[in-house]
Each structure stands twice: as structure tokens, then as C-alpha cells.
Amino acid sequence: MAPKSLVLAAVLLVAVAAGEVPRCAGLGASSTNASVVISGMVPCSTGNNINVATAPAPFPNATVQLQCNGRVTAGTTADGNGNFVISMPGASKDLLTAVMGNQCKVVVSTPLAACDASLAGAIGTLSSSLKLLGISTGGSGGGGGLDLGGIINVIVQILSGVLGGIVTLAPQAFSLV
């Protein structure tokens, strides 16, 4: 799915350059009718591009933050199985632009020692970029079947507030950085 989000980032740049999307969404952070939903599982593991499916264990109760352009934008706590959901209804244009532009990442602020005492010496923070799973707009089954032009159109309409929708993302793969 990485290529898809990269394509979207490129698409967004094109749209911004073409003036179809406000270049500066404004510090007022006007809201849209779109929700951004990020869900995934935090591994209790060190390494690069950790595959959660094969990680030795999940990270229960991990504190998970969404950081966009270096700022904490949202956060949540994983459940006892390391699963988390960050749901942001009425996402601002700034947030949507940052998410679509690959400027956001998920960061685990709880030290690894909390899930495995033997990892107390691990230096760094688990962090992952995001991948786009899909964009669904009221009723019409989502971005899956859209061609590039269709996706641009949906993004532009969501950013301009004409269209509501749910933008669904997941962590690409956590790395200890």
C-alpha cells in the first residue's frame, strides 16, 4: 500500500500547485465533514519495519500519539492486546492535508520496558509512517475503485468540505528510531 499513499502525496501536491486545494489551510484550521481513522497494533519489539504479525508480542496499554509535522495532534492508549484506534471526526483541512501528504506518523511514547523488562536498555521510540487503506464517502463504496482522477476529485471535494467521508489509515510498520 506504500505506493498508493505516495501516489496520493504526489496527487495532493499537484492539486495544491493547481490551486484546487487551499495552499495554506489557515491557522483557523477550518473543519471538514471528514473523519480520519487510524488503527493498528503496537508490537513489543525492537528493530526496523517490524512485522506485527510475526512480532514476539503485542504492546499492551501503549500510549500512541499521532504526530504531524513534529507536533502531537492526537493520541490514545492501546488496549490490552496492543490494538489502538485514533478517530478524528470533523478533521481540519490542515490535518487532512498533512495526513494525505505523508507528514504524519504514529509514535509510541511508552518505553519498551513497560511491555518487556528485558528491553529496558533499548534506546529510541517506536514510530511508523502511515499507509492509506481507503477513503469512503457517504454510501459510494470508497476510493478502491477510483482512478487517479477520481481520487483527486474526492480529495479536493473532501478538503473543500463539499463531501463528507472517512479516511482510513494504518501504520506502515513500526521501527525503533
Would you say 60 or 111 has its CB closer to ligand NAG? 60
* Cβ–Cβ under 8 Å, residues 38 and 85: yes
Separation of alpha carbons 139 and 134, rounded Å: 14
Q: Minimal distance in Å, beta carbon 114 to ligand NAG?
A: 7
CB of 163 to ligand NAG, least distance (A): 8
Residue 113 Cβ vs ligand NAG, minimum distance, rounded to whole Å: 12
Name the residues that contact ligand NAG, by CB under 6 A.
Answer: 31-33, 60-61, 80, 161, 164
The answer to whether 60 and 79 have CB atoms below 8 angstroms apart is yes
Nearest 5°: the CA angle 152, 6, 52 is 125
Between 60 and 75, name the residue whose CB sits nearer to ligand NAG.
60
- As a whole number of angstroms, the distance between CA 88 and CA 68 comes to 14
Q: Which is nearer to ligand NAG, 89 or 161 (CB)?
A: 161
135 neighbors 155 (Cβ within 8 angstroms) = yes
Query: Which residue type occupies 140?
Result: S
Q: Which amino acid is at 36?
A: V
Is the Cα torsion angle 103, 109, 3, 46 positive or negative in sign?
Answer: positive
Residue 2 beta carbon to ligand NAG: minimum distance, rounded to whole angstroms: 30
Kindly tell me which of 129 and 153 has the beta carbon lying closer to ligand NAG: 153
Which residue lies nearest ligand NAG, judged by its C-beta?
A: 161
Q: Rank residues 95 and 130 by Cβ distance to ligand NAG and give the closer one.
A: 95
CA distance 105 to 98: 10
Smallest distance, ligand NAG to C-beta of residue 161, A: 3
